Amino acid sequence: MTLSGRTALVTGAGRGIGRAVAIRLAAQGARSALVARTAEELQETVRLVEREGGTAVPITADVSTEDGVRAVLDGAAEALGAVDVLVNNAGTVQPLGPAAEMDLERWIGAFAVNVFAPAALSFALVPDMVKRGWGRVVNVSSGIVAHPAALGGFNAYAATKAALEAHTLNLAAELKDTGVTVNVYRPGSVDTAMQAWIRERGENLVDAATYARFRSSYENRTLITADDSAASLVARVPLPETGCVWDASDRI
Ligand SMILES: NC(=O)c1ccc[n+]([C@@H]2O[C@H](COP(=O)([O-])OP(=O)(O)OC[C@H]3O[C@@H](n4cnc5c(N)ncnc54)[C@H](OP(=O)(O)O)[C@@H]3O)[C@@H](O)[C@H]2O)c1
């Protein structure tokens, strides 16, 4: 078990990729604190972790607010003591829609989840990781950053994930040679509730070609499973590399 004795904080662990990451981290020996807003989904993740013989504590909080971040930090400190591994996975694809019709408050709200939360948690936890000479931060991004023009109607998502990657790589450079690594993870196209939401609600929000691509990748079964994506992420956590943009499809 490559993470035996380590502690991990995983946001967005109530379902999808975050849940699968939590289970994989437990299989590698890490004790975890798991965050989402929906208590029932978190309880189910905890149950699945325990079924694998692992230990996890749920923290119900909204990471897009300062109070929520504080609750996460307090809950993690109480449950884990120090945090060795931070996986910033909670994310939102909303708001979708033409930029000309964009509600600015909602657009800013996407930054709160996709950029503010990961940065705030890193800023709070990294100094102690540096003191202890070992730490891991993985920020879950999206392939959209490589192709920002490819998905019409995803302006908030493209902008927030690009900002997240810039933040990540800048922080990695600052922490070079400290023992604390900071990397981006692009999880691939994964069969989760987020994809289902786009298929069910996105038809009139995103452009027709984009919508057709989301439908066809589901119907043609080209989406990967959350567990496959999580396996690729968790396998990289022990590695010493930093400042990388990892992609689920890359070989380890
Ligand atoms: N699925 C894909 O194809 C795909 C592709 C590229 C990138 N990604 C990225 O991968 C990550 C996980 O995506 P997913 O597909 O697994 O999504 P998902 O199924 O929608 O799960 C998202 C998780 O994040 C939590 N979350 C969302 N907003 C939150 C908030 N404000 N505070 C706390 N928790 C919050 C959700 O729980 P609550 O709603 O209960 O809070 C849920 O547990 C995201 O960062 C996403 O952008 C996914």
21-75: per-residue pLDDT in tens?
999 999 999 999 999 999 999 999 999 999 999 999 999 999 999 999 999 999 9
How far is Cα 188 from Cα 173, in angstroms, rounded to an integer?
25
**Ligand 1 pocket by Cβ (under 6 Å):** 11-18, 35-38, 41, 62-64, 89-92, 113, 140, 142, 187, 189-190, 192-195
Task: Among 11, 70, 194, say which to mutate for ligand 1: greatest number of ligand atoms within 8 Å of CB.
Answer: 194
Are residues 26 and 2 in contact, defined by beta-carbon separation less than 8 angstroms?
no
Q: What pLDDT is attached to residue 195?
A: 98
| Residue 38 CA, closest ligand 1 atom number | 40
Helix orientation angle between 66-80 and 117-132, rounded to the nearest 10 degrees: 30
Residue nearest to atom 36 of ligand 1 (CA): 12
Secondary structure letter of residue 147 according to DSSP: -
Q: What pLDDT is attached to residue 139?
A: 99
The model's pTM = 0.98
| Pair type for strands 31-36 and 245-247 | unpaired
Residue 29 backbone zone (phi > 0: left; psi -120 to 50: alpha; other: beta): left
Architecture of domain 7-188+226-247 in this structure: 3-Layer(aba) Sandwich (3.40)
Size of the chain in residues: 252
Q: What pLDDT is attached to residue 251?
A: 77
Residue ranges in the chain modelled with pLDDT below 50 = none
Largest distance between two CA atoms of the chain: 51
Q: What are the catalytic residues? A: 141, 157, 161
How far is Cα 196 from Cα 84, in angstroms, rounded to an integer?
33
Are residues 144 and 150 in contact, defined by beta-carbon separation less than 8 angstroms?
yes
Give residue limits of the domains in the chain: 7-188+226-247
| Residue 11 CA, closest ligand 1 atom number | 34
Residue nearest to atom 46 of ligand 1 (CA): 91
Q: Which run of H or E residues covers position 236?
A: helix 226-236
Q: What pLDDT is attached to residue 90?
A: 99
Q: What pLDDT is attached to residue 176?
A: 98
Q: What pLDDT is attached to residue 233?
A: 98
Q: How much distance in Å is there from the Cα of 204 to the middle of ligand 1?
A: 22
Q: What pLDDT is attached to residue 252?
A: 77
| Residue 91 CA, closest ligand 1 atom number | 45
